[in-house]
C-alpha cells in the first residue's frame, strides 16, 4: 500500500546530500496536498498543532533527552573499552576516545537541558 514512499526515497537518494531534505519536503507536500483534498484547511491544521504544542513539546523533549542519554552511555562505554580492553585489537583508539569525549560533552548538555 505504501510502496510509493520507497519509490520516492529511492528517487531522492540519487540526489546526494540534498536527497533527505528533498524527501522530507516531498513528504510534507504530499501530506498538505492530501489534507487539502480531504477538506482540511492548512490554517485549521496549524491551529490544531498550536493547541497541541504543550504536550508535544514535553514528549519530544523527553525523547530527545533519552536519546542524548543513550549517546552518553555509548560514549562512556567507548571510554571503558579504551581503558580496560587492552588485549582486543579492535578496541577504540585515541582518536575514537577524543571523538567520544566531544560527543559525550554535547550529549550531556542535551540530556540535562541547559
User: 28-63: per-residue pLDDT in tens?
Assistant: 998 999 999 999 998 998 999 899 999 999 999 999
Q: Return d(Cα 61, Cα 112) in angstroms, integer.
A: 11
Question: Quick one: what percent of the chain has pLDDT higher than 90?
Answer: 48
Residue-range definition of the domain harbouring residue 1: 1-40
**Which pTM was predicted?**
0.67
Residues 73 and 99 in one domain: yes
What per-residue confidence (pLDDT) applies to 9?
73
Name 85's Cβ contacts closer than 8 Å, sequence gap at least 6: 91
pLDDT band at 65 (very low <50, low <70, confident <90, very high): very high
Q: Return d(Cα 111, Cα 114) in angstroms, integer.
A: 8
What per-residue confidence (pLDDT) applies to 114?
57
The count of domains in the chain is 2
Residues 84 and 104 in one domain: yes
Task: Examine residue 63 and state whether it is found in any structural domain, yes or no.
Answer: yes
Q: Return d(Cα 71, Cα 39) in angstroms, integer.
A: 43
CA distances from 64 to 5, 47, 110 (A): 26, 24, 8
The answer to whether the CB of 20 falls within 8 A of the CB of 10 is no
What per-residue confidence (pLDDT) applies to 23?
83
pLDDT band at 8 (very low <50, low <70, confident <90, very high): confident
Amino acid at each position: 500500500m505504501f510502496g510509493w514512499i520507497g519509490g520516492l526515497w529511492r528517487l531522492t537518494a540519487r540526489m546526494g546530500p540534498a536527497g533527505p531534505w528533498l524527501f522530507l519536503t516531498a513528504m510534507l507536500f504530499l501530506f498538505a496536498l492530501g489534507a487539502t483534498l480531504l477538506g482540511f484547511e492548512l490554517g485549521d491544521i496549524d491551529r490544531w498543532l498550536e493547541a497541541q504544542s504543550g504536550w508535544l513539546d514535553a514528549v519530544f523533549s523527553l525523547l530527545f533527552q533519552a536519546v542524548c542519554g543513550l549517546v552518553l552511555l555509548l560514549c562512556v562505554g567507548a571510554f571503558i573499552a579504551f581503558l580496560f580492553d587492552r588485549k582486543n585489537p579492535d578496541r577504540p583508539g585515541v582518536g575514537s576516545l577524543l571523538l567520544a569525549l566531544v560527543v559525550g560533552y554535547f550529549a550531556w548538555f542535551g540530556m540535562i537541558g541547559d
